[in-house]
């Protein structure tokens, strides 16, 4: 039997009503009402089992918010990162727990591989012993009072329920036809891109190709291709770590001349093999963080890295990330290279030290803004030159149409996902010294994002 509170309402209904009011108080910016309602939800003296009732209410509301976020195109890593951006790391940990709680309801065959990878990456694990005990265990882990849990939960619910809709780049859990254990996407329907719409030239035979290899290959062959790409990325990351840690600019510069050329050749290898085998699979997508401060020049850097590797980047400034579209091997290269270049740029920028004008006023911010803008522009010039040399070195009459077709497929995916895309104007730069220093640092940066790739891929 449900217990009844004031005005004949059940305790469950009273808790739900208080939670609704608390969320609405946040929406209208009424912090006083929010604090009062949090206090009521945290404790109502004389009401038996009130804590358990409110815990169930908030837990269910969080799970519903998480499921709604997936339907709006969000992914686990995006959500945790955005929660940190809007609130605190504590809120992000609560979001991770809510994601883990919701993910436990999915059958393994209904979750895309990339989704599973993100869940592992954010460490979305159910670490509490049973569902009803999570709030109390969370409070102990965080060293927080119950009211803190209630406030964090309400703020997270408000965030989840006001998330903007994003074009999906992976199918949400539970969508039929996507399995986590097989490494393939099989099921009825046309071949589909990251938008969930038919890909240009996509296979319409009623089945999706395996992600790990071209059509006609066995599952083992596709797995070998995937394993090879992972080995290449492992080697790339090791080389980038060396480039980032060297104290000798000449060493980094020596690595950079052939590095992007090798990255481009690896992309060319994938393109030619796909064309020769008749692989009609299309572009994929991923979201990459673009954090403050200086997020605008960082977004420019990601854009030039993406374009040099046959991808396109769309910046969501208010959300703190860019959506990058391209073919899988190119996307992996973009993420690794962008991360490394950003580390190198930040190191060089900090090493340059603070700046002041003749009157002693700080010019550090304008210097660093100009530095990163110039760095991005110069890196773009170098990457395009290296990619052009790689294409010229690969030769062959069949190469240009293959690359053009892939570029067209990516452009069409962008147009489909972002039909109302507006191009922003580049920001102005007012610090000449920072501009010169940024270009100089870009000339010394290692572009070794795919070094040693070609030899590893083509064999002897």
- Inter-residue contact 76 to 286 (CB < 8 Å): no
Which residue stretches of the chain have pLDDT < 50?
A: 1, 6-8, 177-221, 257, 449-460
CA distances from 193 to 188, 201, 203, 225 (A): 14, 11, 11, 21
Gap between the Cα atoms of 342 and 322, Å rounded: 15
Gap between the Cα atoms of 294 and 457, Å rounded: 37
- Inter-residue contact 139 to 149 (CB < 8 Å): yes
The pLDDT of residue 399 is 75
The pLDDT of residue 340 is 86
Gap between the Cα atoms of 106 and 23, Å rounded: 28
- Inter-residue contact 387 to 441 (CB < 8 Å): no
The pLDDT of residue 51 is 94
Gap between the Cα atoms of 116 and 120, Å rounded: 6
Q: Where are the alpha helices (DSSP H) in 162-294?
A: 219-245, 249-277
Q: Kindly report, residue by residue over 234-291, the tens digit of the pLDDT.
A: 655 666 666 666 666 566 655 654 555 556 666 777 777 777 777 767 899 999 999 9
For residue 340, give the nearest of 237, 227, 250 by alpha carbon.
237
Radius of gyration of the chain from its Cα atoms, rounded to whole angstroms: 25
The pLDDT of residue 64 is 96
Gap between the Cα atoms of 294 and 342, Å rounded: 11
Gap between the Cα atoms of 43 and 254, Å rounded: 65
Tell me the two tokens of residue 325. 């579209």
The pLDDT of residue 183 is 36
């Amino acid at each position: 039997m449900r217990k009844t509170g004031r005005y004949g309402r059940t305790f469950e209904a009273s808790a739900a009503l208080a939670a609704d009011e608390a969320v609405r108080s946040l929406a209208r910016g009424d912090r006083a009402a929010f604090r009062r309602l949090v206090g009521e939800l945290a404790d109502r003296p004389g009401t038996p089992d009130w804590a358990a009732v409110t815990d169930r209410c908030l837990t269910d509301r969080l799970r519903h918010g998480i499921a709604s976020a997936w339907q709006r195109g969000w992914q686990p890593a995006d959500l945790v990162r955005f929660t940190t951006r809007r609130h605190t790391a504590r809120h992000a940990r609560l979001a991770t727990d809510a994601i883990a709680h919701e993910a436990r309801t999915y059958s393994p065959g209904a979750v895309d591989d990339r989704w599973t990878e993100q869940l592992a990456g954010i460490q979305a694990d159910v670490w509490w012993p049973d569902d009803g005990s999570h709030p109390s265990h969370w409070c102990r882990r965080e060293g927080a009072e119950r009211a803190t849990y209630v406030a964090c939960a309400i703020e997270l619910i408000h965030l989840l329920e006001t998330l903007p809709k994003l074009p999906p780049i992976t199918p949400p859990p539970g969508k039929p036809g996507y399995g986590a254990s097989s490494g393939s996407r099989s099921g009825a329907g046309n071949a589909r891109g990251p938008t969930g719409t038919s890909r240009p030239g996509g296979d319409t035979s009623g089945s999706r190709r395996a992600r790990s290899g071209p059509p006609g290959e066995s599952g083992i062959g596709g797995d070998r291709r995937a394993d090879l790409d992972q080995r290449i990325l492992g080697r790339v990351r090791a080389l980038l770590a060396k480039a980032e840690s060297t104290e000798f600019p000449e060493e980094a510069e020596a690595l950079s001349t052939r590095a992007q050329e090798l990255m481009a050749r690896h992309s060319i290898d994938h393109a030619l093999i796909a064309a020769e085998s008749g692989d009609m699979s299309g572009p994929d997508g991923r979201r990459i963080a673009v954090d403050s401060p200086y997020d605008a020049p960082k977004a420019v850097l990601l854009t030039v890295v993406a374009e040099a590797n046959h991808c396109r980047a769309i910046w969501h400034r208010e959300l703190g990330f860019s959506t990058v579209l391209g073919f899988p091997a190119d996307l992996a290269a973009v993420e690794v290279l962008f991360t490394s270049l950003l580390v190198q740029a930040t190191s060089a920028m900090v090493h340059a030290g603070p700046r002041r004008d003749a009157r002693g006023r700080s010019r550090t911010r304008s210097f660093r803004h100009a530095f990163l803008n110039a760095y991005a522009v110069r890196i773009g010039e170098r990457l395009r030159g290296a990619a052009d040399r790689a294409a010229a070195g690969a030769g062959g009459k069949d190469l240009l149409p293959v690359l053009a077709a892939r570029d067209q497929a990516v452009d069409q995916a962008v147009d489909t996902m972002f039909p109302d895309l507006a191009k922003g104007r580049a920001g102005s730069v007012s610090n000449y010294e920072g501009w010169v220093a940024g270009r100089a640092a870009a000339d010394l940066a290692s572009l070794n994002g795919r070094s040693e790739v070609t030899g590893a891929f083509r064999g002897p």
